[in-house]
Amino acid sequence: MKLKTLILCFLIGAMGLLSTVSSAAMVTNPQNEIEKVSEDLENTVKESKSEQAREKTTDWFSLVIALAYFLGVFILLPLVIYTNMNEKIFIATESHKIELVDGLDEKQRNEKAVEILEGIEAQMSNITDDEGNEFVTITSGKQAVHTKMGLDYINKRLDPSDEDIKNRVTEFTEVYNDRTKRVFTGSKWIIGCAIGIVVLLGIIDISLIFSFFILLHLLGLVFYYLSSKTPLYALEKRLKTFGTLKLGVVGGILTGLFAGFAAKEYVSINGGSWQRDYEGEFNSSMVLVLIIAVVAMFIAFMVALFGIINFLINYSTSFLSPLKKEDKWYAENMLKTDI
C-alpha cells in the first residue's frame, strides 16, 4: 500500500514537472517569439496604412477647398469686380473723355459707326412678341459683350454726328442696359453659413477673427455674392429650362433638416392612450442640431467653390477683361487683324 502511494505521488510530481518544463520551453522558444514579433509588425503596418489612407482623404478635401479659395479669390474675383464696375456703356464725362480715332473725318466716322451697328444687330436674336411684332434683343453673354464693346467703340472712338445714328445707338444702349441688369440669385443659406463660421471662430478665440484665413474666407464670401448676380437674359433661360429662377439645392437640404424640428413623437405605455414623448422629441432635436451644425460648417468652407460654380453659370461668357479694350475688339471683330 505504501509502495502504491509512493508510485502515485511520484507520477503526479513527474507530470507537474513535465508541464512546468514544457511551459518554460514554450516561453523561451525563439520560433514562437519570432512569430509574435512578426505578427505585431504586421498589425502595426496595417494600422499605419489605414491611418495614411484616412490622412489622404482629408488632404484631398483640404486641397480642393484650398484650390477653390485660390482660384476664386485671386483669379476670378478680380474679373467679377472689373466686370461689375465696367459693364455699363461708355458715357463721356470729365474723367472719361472721348478719344477720336486719328485720320478719320466726320463722314468716315459716321460710316464706321453704321458698320458697327449693323454688326451688332446681326449678332442679336430676332424675337416676335404676342402681337406679331419683330424686334432684336440680347439672349446670350456673347451678344452682350459684342454689343457692349461695339457701342463703347462708337461712343469713345467715333462720336458720330448723324442724328439717326445717335438714335440707333440710344436704342441699342437701352436694350443692353435692360437685358444685362443683374439680380442676386444665390443662396442666403450659404451666406448665412459662411458668416456663421466667422462668428463661431470669434467665440472660440477672438484672435482668429484677425487671421489670414478669415480674410481669405471673407473675400470668398464677397466672390460668392458677386458671382451669384445673374443677368436678365440668363434668368429667362433658367426659368424656361428649370421652371424656377433659383436652383436652391443647398437651401432645400437645410430647409428639409429644419423641418425635422416640427415632427411630433407619441408613445403608448402598456397599450394605454398615446401621449406626447417630449423626451424623445428633445433627443431627436439634439441629433438634428448636431447634423445641421456639421452640414453648415461643411457648406461654409465650400463658399468659394460655390462661387466658382456660379461664375461658370453667370459670367463665363459675359465677363470683361481689362486686357481687351475697344481698339483690340474692333481689330478682332471688324478688321479681323491685330492692331
pLDDT in tens, 144-167: 999 999 999 999 999 999 999 999
Higher pLDDT, 247 or 131: 131
Report the Cα–Cα distance between both ends of the chain, in Å, rounded: 128
Tens digit of pLDDT for each residue in 280-307? 767 777 877 788 788 888 889 999 999 9
- 8 Å CB contact between 108 and 159: no
User: Residues 52-56: what's their mean pLDDT?
Assistant: 56
Q: Is the pLDDT confidence value at 338 over 70?
A: no
Q: Is the pLDDT confidence value at 8 over 60?
A: no
The pLDDT-based confidence of 61 (bands split at 50, 70, 90) is confident
User: Residues 66-83: what's their mean pLDDT?
Assistant: 96
Tens digit of pLDDT for each residue in 165-183? 999 999 999 999 999 999 9
Cα(92)–Cα(159) distance, rounded to whole angstroms?
10
What does pLDDT average to over the chain? 81
What pLDDT, on a 0 to 100 scale, did the predictor assign at position 38?
A: 59
The C-alpha cell of 76 is what?
A: 476670378
Cα(86)–Cα(329) distance, rounded to whole angstroms?
15
Tens digit of pLDDT for each residue in 29-45? 445 555 654 566 566 65
Cα(253)–Cα(337) distance, rounded to whole angstroms?
52
* Residues in the chain, overall count: 339
